[in-house]
Amino acid sequence: MAFVILDPCRGEKAGECVSVCPVDCIEEGPDQFYIDPDVCIDCGACKAVCPVSAIEEEYDLTPSQEKYLEEAEEFFANR
């Protein structure tokens, strides 16, 4: 399981999540930060510090939010 960064991050990009991630799986993209779902250890540190509540667990996503997981997977696949 992994965490996913959702729409509230777009344009905000506060970045607190990056500094607390123990496995460095969060990277900055053009519009928002992305969590690498293959590296995330599901610790929740990023969710706890996000000032805009933009981070959710993969299994808690609604159908309309699943596109953010797909965007993260695509972001890291093209790296």
Count up the domains in the chain and report the number.
Answer: 1
Query: CATH number of the domain that 30 lies in?
Result: 3.30.70.20
In tens, the pLDDT along 28-64 reads 999 999 999 999 999 999 999 999 999 999 999 999 9
Which domain covers residue 58, as residue numbers? Answer: 3-77
Q: Write 35-44 long-range contacts (CB < 8 A, 24+).
A: 35/2, 35/3, 35/4, 35/5, 35/72, 36/2, 36/72, 36/76, 37/2, 37/4, 37/69, 37/72, 37/73, 37/76, 38/2, 38/76, 40/1, 40/2, 40/3, 42/1, 42/2, 42/3, 44/3
Give per-residue pLDDT as tens, 11-32.
Answer: 889 999 999 999 999 999 999 9
More confident residue, 1 or 58: 58
